[in-house]
Amino acid sequence: MKTGTAARRLTALLVVGLVVAASGCGRYPPVSREAFELSKAVFNVCNARRSEQLDTARETVLARRDAGRISQREGRYLCDILDLAEAGNWKRAEARAQRLLRDQTQW
C-alpha cells in the first residue's frame, strides 16, 4: 500500500471516529430497575407527544431521585430527555429514551 493511500485511510478513519464521538452515539450505562421502569414511562410520554404529562413525569423522576430510589445520574438522564420534549424536540427525546431502554441489557 502506498504511503499516500494509507495516510488518506487513516485520516478518513479519524474523521469518522470524531463524527461518531461528537454525535453522542455513546451507550447509556446500566441503570437500576426503578430507573428502567421510569424510562419506559418517559418514552411513552415522548412517543405519544403528551405535553400535558411532562410536569407529572418530571415530578415523579425528581421525587424518586430525592427519595434515593434512583441515582442522581439516572435522574439527570431522564430529566435531560424531558428537557428535550419540553423544548419541542419530541423526536430527539423519544430517540434518547428509546436508546436508554435499548442499552439496558440486564433487564
Tens-digit pLDDT profile for residues 22-80 = 344 579 999 999 999 999 999 999 999 999 999 999 999 999 999 999 999 999 999 99
Query: Which of 31, 62, 56 lies closest to 44 in space, CA to CA?
Result: 56
DSSP 52: G
Tell me if the pTM is above 0.85. Answer: no
Query: For residue 62, with 0-12 CB atoms within 10 Å meaning exposed, 13-18 middle and 19 or more buried, which class applies?
Result: middle
24: alpha, beta or left? (left if phi > 0; alpha if psi -120 to 50)? left
The amino acid at residue 19 is V
Please report the pLDDT score of residue 19 as a whole number: 40
